[in-house]
Amino acid sequence: MTVVSCPTCGKKVEWTEANKFRPFCSDRCKQIDLGAWAEEKYTIPGAPPGDADEDAVSKE
C-alpha cells in the first residue's frame, strides 16, 4: 500500500480507492488547497504573456 503526505497539513494518507480525498487527508484540506489556487497563491513558472498583436507580427 502506498502512503503519501497530505499536501496541505502533512498528515500521512493511504493512497487507496477508499480515500475519496486523495492525495488530501480530508475535504477540509482539499478545500484549503482549492482556495489557495483561487487566491493565486500558487503559480506555474513561465514567460509573461506578450501583447497579442506583437505575437501575430513576429510569426509572419
Does residue 23 have a known ligand-binding role? no
Does residue 22 have a known ligand-binding role? no
Does residue 20 have a known ligand-binding role? no
Does residue 7 have a known ligand-binding role? no
> 34: which 3 cell numbers?
482549492
User: What's the CA gap between 27 and 8, in Å, rounded?
Assistant: 11
User: What's the CA gap between 14 and 23, in Å, rounded?
Assistant: 8
Q: Where is the binding site for Zn(2+), in residues?
A: 6, 9, 25, 29
Binding residues: 6, 9, 25, 29
